[in-house]
Amino acid sequence: MNRVVSRVGLLAKQIKNGDVAGVRADLQQWMWSENYYCGLRRDFSVPFQPEKADVELTAVPLTKELAPTVFSTSDLPERDATYLERRRKIWDAGFANGFVAVTAEGKPAYLQWLIPPSQNDKVADYFGPLFPLDATTLIVEGAWIPPEFRKANVMGEGLSLVTEAAAAVSPEATGAVCFPELRNKGAVRGSARGGYVISEIRTDRWRLGRRTTSFAPATADDVNAIAPGTIKPVTP
């Protein structure tokens, strides 16, 4: 029920913002669609050195002092404002381990949550059956790159830095898992550049507002069979 209410609230917000295209796309997805998500995992025991971004980055916790800057929708296009609003709802819901990669000038360049296993019940309630939950894996969710940094090659190093920061405060965790949508090839490639390795594919099927989710082991070849040219085989 919480997710239904959230969906209705999001649609209302989109309508208020004039995001007609976003409303249409979301309704089409919820009524009848089949979407694929690439599961990538990072093993904390495997050292990884990411490619440097075009700007200097440092990972810091997302705090109440930093949040107003991170979630400011000033001057954002309507669709970007909607995406950022969804990230703000994750913050408002109280999920732990939100981190931001900031530039040398303190500008937020990359946002990501790595939610600890202690909040698995909260994850299941808020997101639904979207993640294979266990007692040692951080759930990676809510990525956001401000428009001004989208051509600055920030995702690989940004994701790697915030992952390491989250691992340092999560002694129970041995790894992390993320599920970017397969048609978002940039996010899949960026996750791989952050030290994450393809492990599975999640399939979400929507039929008249009802979603079913399934998982299957996968390799880079399996990913490319669904979305040709997405990624090359990656070794940590």
By the 10 Å C-beta count (0-12 exposed, 13-18 middle, 19+ buried), 46 is classed as exposed
Say if CB 67 and CB 91 are below 8 A apart: yes
Domain-embedded: residue 111: yes
Neighbours of 115 (CB within 10 A): 27
- pLDDT score of 159: 98
Domain-embedded: residue 233: no
- pLDDT score of 44: 98
State the first-to-last Cα distance of the chain, in angstroms, to the nearest integer: 40
Tell me which residue has tokens 């703000």. 88
| Tally of domains within the chain | 1
Domain-embedded: residue 235: no
Domain-embedded: residue 175: yes
Domain-embedded: residue 176: yes
Domain-embedded: residue 234: no
Domain-embedded: residue 236: no
- pLDDT score of 89: 96
The CATH number for 168's domain is 3.40.630.30
- pLDDT score of 117: 98
Which residues form the domain of 156? Answer: 2-226
| pLDDT string in tens for the chain (236-residue length) | 445 545 555 555 555 666 556 556 666 766 667 889 999 999 999 999 999 999 999 999 999 999 999 999 999 998 899 999 999 999 999 999 999 999 999 999 999 999 999 999 999 999 999 999 999 999 999 999 999 999 999 999 999 999 999 999 999 999 999 999 999 999 999 999 999 999 999 999 887 778 889 999 999 999 999 888 887 754 44
- pLDDT score of 30: 65
Domain-embedded: residue 231: no
- pLDDT score of 20: 59
